[in-house]
Amino acid sequence: MIQLLETVGEQIKLARLRRKLSSEMVAERAGISRNTLISIEQGKPTVSIGHYLNVLKVLGLENDFLLLAKDDELGRKLQDARLSTKERAPKKK
């Protein structure tokens, strides 16, 4: 998971640099500290997903977030096989 977040952080940083935006400017527009932006660009798992989304919005990439799990191959295979899954885990007794 950490490697995935590091890749996301790197992509966010590259998007910022392609737009020629400083880290200070993006952090200010996203309502976060520069240190938090640096943590995002490093893919730190301790940063809230809301901060990641705020940065994506500043970069004009917020709709990319909607692509997550859009093509759910496993889910479609399960549906096609008519396998049922419980909506909630059973309650502990």
- Token representation of residue 31: 């309502």
Percent of the chain with pLDDT over 90: 66
Whether residue 85 is predicted with pLDDT greater than 60 in this model: the reply is no
- Structural domain includes residue 88: no
- The residue range of the domain holding 34 is 2-64
User: What is the C-alpha to C-alpha distance for residues 40 and 38, in angstroms, rounded to an integer?
Assistant: 5
- Structural domain includes residue 89: no
- Structural domain includes residue 48: yes
- Token representation of residue 86: 């419980």
C-beta separation of 56 from 65 below 8 A: yes
| Domains in the chain, number | 1
- Structural domain includes residue 71: no
- Token representation of residue 20: 């020629």
- Structural domain includes residue 21: yes
What is the tens place of the pLDDT at every residue in 67-82? Answer: 887 888 888 787 777 7
- Structural domain includes residue 36: yes
The reported pTM is 0.76
H helices, E strands: number in the chain: 5, 0
Q: State the CATH number of the domain containing residue 31.
A: 1.10.260.40
